[in-house]
A and B are shown apart, each in its own frame.
Chain A
Amino acid sequence: MGLVHPPPFERFYDEHRDAVLRELRRRLGRDAADDAYQETFLRALRAYGRLRHAENLRAWVLTIARRVAVDQHRRREAPPSAPEPSDDSRPAYAELGELADGLPRKERAAVVLRYGYDLSYSAIGAALGSSEQAARQATSSGVRRLRRMQ
Chain B
Amino acid sequence: MSVSTTLDHRFREAAAAAGLLDVAYDVADSPVGPLLVAATDHGLCRISFDPEPEREAEELARMFGAKVLRVGKPVDGVRRQLDEYFDGKRTRFELPVDLRPSAPFSRRVLQRLARVPHGEVTTYGALARAAGNPRAARAVGTVMNRNPIPIVLPCHRVIGANGALVGYGGGLDRKRQLLSLEGSLGIDIQ
Contact = CB atoms under 8 A, between A and B. Distances in A.
A49 B65 contact: yes
Given A13-B69, A17-B3, A48-B66, A7 B17 contact: no
B61 A7 contact: yes
Interface string B68-96: 11100000000000000000000000000
A49 B22 contact: yes
A37 B7 contact: yes
B68 A117 contact: no
Interface in A115-130: 116-117, 119, 123, 127-128
Given A21-B1, A46-B20, A9 B11 contact: no
A45 B1 contact: no
**Which range contains the number of A residues in contact with the other chain?**
20 to 34
A146 interface: no
Interface string B133-167: 00000000000000000000000000000000000
B1 A18 contact: yes
Interface string A24-43: 01000000001001100110
Contacts of A11: 54, 57
Interface of B: 1-3, 7-8, 10-11, 13-15, 17-22, 53-54, 57-58, 60-62, 65-70
